Amino acid sequence: RFQAFVYFASVFQAMSCGIHYLASVFMAVTPNFVCGIPGNVSSVLFYNSSESNLEDIWTLWTSTEKYIVVQLENGEIWELNQCSRSKREMSFDLAYEYKGNKSVFSCSDGFLYDDTKWKSTVVTQWELVCDREWLAKLIQPTFMLGVLIGAVIFGDIADRLGRQRVIWFTSASQFVFGIAVAFTFDYYSFVIVRFLLAMVSSGYLVVAFVYVTEFVGIKARTWASMHVHAFFAVGIMIVALVGFFVRTWWVYQICLSIATLPFVLCCWMLPETPFWLLSEERYEDAQKVINIMARWNKVSTPCKVSELCSVQQDDLVSGRMGDNDTSSTKKHNILDLFCNWHIARRTITVWLIWFTGSLGYYVFSLSSVSLGGNEYLNLFLIGAVELPCYIIACIGMDKLGRRNTLIPFLIFSALICVLIMFIPQDFNTLIILANMAGKFSIGVAFGLIYLYTAELYPTIVRSLAVGSGSMMCRVGSVVAPFCVYLRSVWIFMPLLLVGIMALLSGILTIMLPETLGKPLTNTLVEATEMGRSKKSCSGKTPPAHSGGALDKIEMFGQETVSTEK
């Protein structure tokens, strides 16, 4: 009961991360627009359609390369393009085609926007079009850069100050910065506050993974950690729903930020993890948390910290005696991931999978609003398709193995990218279904790589391996928005890049060893042998110890399950 409360309370706030990560798909959308008009309009002409006001023309607007002809009350006739306007000389007849002289002017009177879908976006608010269009395209990449930096900073702070304090700070900051974004006064303050919001959102997501993992027992750990992603996907679905009902960007941002207010009000109730307290030798505080767990779970004989510490000391001594190849005082760095050819090849492959998973995930998500049809429904479905993919990933990992699940889904996502290129653009429904299939397959690979990376490396560099892989994941998320913008070069360019990366990753994954049912390795020598020999060290090498105290607490968590049953 206690673990369930802590788990669902913690992952509920993960929805806010999904919300803020994808909020810009509607908040920073660029509607149809043309140059502003230097006077009052009497009539508007677009091809053979004539209207009395510009608002009625937007439904006919099909291409940014076309122009609109307007006649002012003073008789002047202007051609309005997106980034320029032309005044017809010596022409008083309103006709679409004109071969006479024109005077070209800049858009000094601003721009006119199509507000039939969005009443206001940050693009229309600060006119981020034409020569300022690049500022609009930097909104999502700068956010993802904040995600990268936040993951590094808050991951380190959580190890130093504890998981509880970071969860308190980042969850409260998400709400504060989320509301603050809506009240920014210019583009630069908007980007800065969003950058800070990205840092705390990423920080919360990283620490929440660690937090729930340290509370959940061994049997449920794979499913529990995997489904943190599912709550992130629910956040994407909330973005689609709020975007459908709210069409003004700052109101939309406030509504999204308020969605997770309940957690901010109750997050102070979450305790520190016994794992971290024991590592800091705060034994009395650890005992208090264990006693609270016992009361919630109705366990009459809770663990004693004194017993846990004695077991931990025994395991530490036996671990040192059984492993003379490593020194506890040795400092390890990123170069240890390239200590020999086998480990180096493994590292390059794992980094590529992390990068490809993140790149594909955000390319499919960010591109969903450009697929045609209802963009809100598209994004909702792209989020919803993630929910079953994590279930499939968990089943596949346990039944088929990590590598045997990863390879087919990576290659399948590459094939989907190629298939989409051959679907006619008029078949919107088929295109959307294919994109959902692509998001599903890349989502399985993306969710699986977390656990697989931890099992591929020995204890002495395991955290370093997962951390460096996560860094490549953040790099992929920074590159993804720029990849999506390549649609302006060729509509299938993003899919082509994702497909090539996924196919390459799938082929290289064949050379990785399977880790299902094998003990965790302790040294780089053991990790290398796991990759070179099919016999591996199964039955010969004991699994890596995380400390007897930790095992005892996990057993205590499992006792809860049997008691409730």
Regarding whether 145 and 168 lie in a shared domain, the answer is: yes
Q: Which among 260, 263, 12, 28 has a CA at the least distance from the CA of 143?
A: 28
Identify the domain containing residue 190 by its residue range. Answer: 1-28+120-270
CATH code of the domain containing 433: 1.20.1250.20
Q: Is residue 373 part of a domain?
A: yes
How far apart CA 293 and CA 214 sit, in angstroms, is 13
Q: Is 71 helix (H, G, I), strand (E, B) or coil?
A: strand
Q: Which among 291, 294, 262 has a CA at the least distance from the CA of 277?
A: 291
How far apart CA 88 and CA 95 sit, in angstroms, is 11
Q: What is the pLDDT along the chain (565 residues), one digit of tens a residue?
A: 888 888 888 888 888 888 999 998 899 888 888 888 877 777 888 776 777 667 777 777 766 667 888 888 778 888 888 888 888 887 667 777 878 788 888 888 889 888 888 889 999 999 999 889 999 999 989 998 998 888 878 877 887 888 888 888 998 999 999 999 999 989 999 999 999 999 999 888 888 877 887 788 767 777 777 788 888 899 999 999 999 999 999 999 999 999 878 887 777 888 888 878 887 778 888 888 888 888 888 887 767 776 666 555 555 444 444 444 444 445 667 788 888 888 889 999 999 999 999 999 999 988 888 887 788 998 999 999 988 888 888 888 888 888 999 999 999 999 999 999 998 888 888 999 999 999 999 988 888 887 788 788 886 777 678 778 888 888 998 899 899 888 888 889 999 999 999 999 999 999 998 888 787 777 788 888 875 654 433 334 344 343 444 444 444 443 333 333 3
Q: What is the pLDDT of residue 564?
A: 35
DSSP string covering 45-58: EETTEEESSGGGTG
Residue that terminates a domain, selected from 243, 270, 297? 270
Regarding whether 443 and 354 lie in a shared domain, the answer is: yes
Q: What is the pLDDT of residue 505?
A: 94
Regarding whether 125 and 106 lie in a shared domain, the answer is: no
DSSP string covering 184-246: --SHHHHHHHHHHHHHHHHHHHHHHHHHHHHHS-HHHHHHHHHTHHHHHHHHHHHHHHHHHH-
Regarding whether 92 and 126 lie in a shared domain, the answer is: no
Count of domains observed in the chain:
3
Strand partners, 7: none
Regarding whether 255 and 189 lie in a shared domain, the answer is: yes
Regarding whether 365 and 484 lie in a shared domain, the answer is: yes
Task: Kindly state the tokens that stand for 264.
Answer: 């901010």
How far apart CA 389 and CA 410 sit, in angstroms, is 13
Sort 356 into a burial class: Cβ within 10 Å, 0-12 / 13-18 / 19+: buried
Regarding whether 219 and 205 lie in a shared domain, the answer is: yes
Residue that terminates a domain, selected from 255, 270, 285? 270
Q: Is residue 323 part of a domain?
A: no
Regarding whether 464 and 391 lie in a shared domain, the answer is: yes
- Is the CB of residue 541 less than 8 Å from the CB of residue 521? yes
How far apart CA 170 and CA 207 sit, in angstroms, is 9
DSSP code of residue 513: P
Q: Convert 349-406 into a string of H (helix), E (strand) and C (coil).
A: HHHHHHHHHHHHHHHHHHHHHHCCCCHHHHHHHHHHCHHHHHHHHHHHHHHCCHHHHH
Torsion, CA 417, CA 435, CA 62, CA 58, rounded to 10: -150
DSSP string covering 310-327: HHHHHHHHHHHHH--S--
Residue that terminates a domain, selected from 116, 141, 166? 116
Regarding whether 386 and 345 lie in a shared domain, the answer is: yes
Could you tell me how many residues make up the chain?
565
Please give the helix or strand (H or E) that residue 266 lies within, else none: helix 261-266
How far apart CA 307 and CA 290 sit, in angstroms, is 13
Q: Is residue 561 part of a domain?
A: no
DSSP string covering 92-148: -S--S---S-EEEE--TT-EEE--SS-SB-HHHHHT--GGGHHHHHTHHHHHHHHHH
- Residues with Cβ within 8 Å of residue 222, at least 6 apart in sequence: 394, 397, 398, 451
Regarding whether 85 and 146 lie in a shared domain, the answer is: no
How far apart CA 166 and CA 68 sit, in angstroms, is 54
Q: What is the pLDDT of residue 63?
A: 61
Q: Is residue 546 part of a domain?
A: no
Q: Is residue 309 part of a domain?
A: no
Strand partners, 234: none
pTM above 0.85, yes or no: no
- Is the CB of residue 495 less than 8 Å from the CB of residue 417? yes
Q: Is residue 301 part of a domain?
A: no
Regarding whether 37 and 16 lie in a shared domain, the answer is: no
DSSP string covering 526-550: HHHHHHH-SSTTTTTSPPPP--HHH
Q: Is residue 60 part of a domain?
A: yes
Q: Is residue 563 part of a domain?
A: no
Regarding whether 112 and 196 lie in a shared domain, the answer is: no
Distances from the Cα of 502 to the Cα of 388, 463, 561, angstroms:
21, 25, 40
Long-range pairs for 126-130 at CB < 8 Å and ≥24 separation? 126/186, 126/187, 126/190, 128/28, 128/30, 128/187, 129/30, 129/33, 129/82, 129/83, 130/82, 130/83
Distances from the Cα of 161 to the Cα of 158, 276, 280, 448, angstroms:
5, 9, 10, 29
Q: At what angle do helices 341-367 and 428-456 cross, to 10 degrees?
A: 150
Q: Is 183 helix (H, G, I), strand (E, B) or coil?
A: coil
